[in-house]
Amino acid sequence: MRKIFTDFPLEARFELNGADARHVLVVLRHGVGDRIAVTDSTGTTYACRIDSIAGHSAVLTVEERLSCRTQETGKVVLAAGLLKNDKFEWLIQKATELGVHTIIPVQMEHCVVKLNDNHRSGKFERWRRIAVEAAKQCGRDDVPIIREVMPFTELFQAYGTSRFVIPYERETTSLAEVCHEVQQGDVVLCIGPEGGFSPKEIAYAVSQAAWCRTVSLGKRILRAETAALASLSILMYERGF
């Protein structure tokens, strides 16, 4: 069953309307009597039966619980520099599939992309939709939180008490060497943009974060989106994802 999400806890009977109902009735072509998987705001997934359809809304009945959100050993946050074209959208999709809890787009010194307020609003809505669709596709019981675009300094004001892992091309200590230190608890994986981190940003991160490790991903120079997915995959594997 293809999953959909609601932003409210499910009860015995509930109504779907708007975009959710259109997705179920038009895109997935479900009708009365069909069963669909619905995940509610608590992260619990239920099998639900469509009882009636009126226009672009549907009334459903909860039939059985399929799964509950598993207890987390800590949140993995991906803070990534803004990327040009559709690369950041691709990154959101893949990070969602890998189980990241929160995604933060970060404006950094060497970012090619510079978003004004109008562009930020439009991008945020699109990024949110991409995360929802990726969560549906991969069968997650939750949707990652997408934050508004943050300046680099604000990232450390908001998350400075968390542990930071920062892949950096001038570092020699491998990511594997520090993975055991972040197998549990909250951790922020911070990825630079196409132009990489500036030395000033690295110095600021080390001075502002309560716990910060800069790491190497090997001898090759990876694209920003490749570095994000490679390091996130390693980190999630070590945490038992």
53: CATH: 2.40.240.20
pTM: 0.83
Q: How far is CA 182 from the centre of its chain?
A: 18
Tell me the per-residue pLDDT of 12-38, one tens digit each, with 9 for 90 and over: 999 998 888 988 998 889 999 999 999
- Following DSSP, what letter does each residue of 122-191 receive, concatenated? HHHHHHHHHHHHHHHHHT-SS--EEPPPEEHHHHHHHHTTSEEEEE-TT--SBHHHHHGGGSSS-EEEEE
Tell me the per-residue pLDDT of 60-110, one tens digit each, with 9 for 90 and over: 999 999 887 766 678 999 999 999 989 999 999 999 999 999 999 999 999
132 and 220 together in one domain: yes
- Cβ 120 vs Cβ 75: under 8 Å: no
127 and 155 together in one domain: yes
80 Cβ contact partners less than 8 Å away, ≥ 6 residues apart: 88, 91, 103, 104, 105, 106, 190, 191, 193, 224, 228
Looking at the 3D structure of the chain, how many domains does it have? 2
What the block records as the tokens of 192 is 């630079």
> At residue 131, does pLDDT exceed 80?
yes
CATH of the domain at 103: 3.40.1280.10
pLDDT confidence bin for 163, thresholds 50/70/90:
very high
207 and 125 together in one domain: yes
Residue 118's pLDDT is 64
Average pLDDT rounded to a whole number, residues 44-52: 94
Q: Which domain holds residue 119?
A: 76-238
94 and 183 together in one domain: yes
What is the helix (H) or strand (E) element at residue 18, kind and residue range?
A: helix 18-22
Checking DSSP bridges between strand 150-151 and strand 163-167, what pairing results, if any? unpaired
What is the helix (H) or strand (E) element at residue 201, kind and residue range?
A: helix 199-208
232 and 170 together in one domain: yes
Average pLDDT rounded to a whole number, residues 40-48: 88
111 and 194 together in one domain: yes
91 and 121 together in one domain: yes
Nearest CA among 64, 43, 52, 45 for reference residue 24: 52
163 and 47 together in one domain: no
Average pLDDT rounded to a whole number, residues 117-144: 85
23 and 125 together in one domain: no
Residue 212's pLDDT is 96
154 and 105 together in one domain: yes
44 and 148 together in one domain: no
Q: d(Cα 208, Cα 186) in Å, to the nearest integer?
A: 17
Which residue, 67, 95, 118, sits at the end of a domain? 67
Which residue, 49, 67, 85, sits at the end of a domain? 67
pLDDT confidence bin for 136, thresholds 50/70/90:
confident
137 and 216 together in one domain: yes
Mean pLDDT estimate for the chain:
91
Which residue, 12, 45, 67, sits at the end of a domain? 67
> At residue 117, does pLDDT exceed 80?
no
Q: Which amino acid is at 27?
A: V
Q: Tokens 């008490």 label which residue?
A: 161
Range with lowest mean pLDDT among 54-58, 79-83, 118-122, 220-224: 118-122
- Return the ∠ at Cα 146 (arms to 73 and 113), rounded to 5°: 125
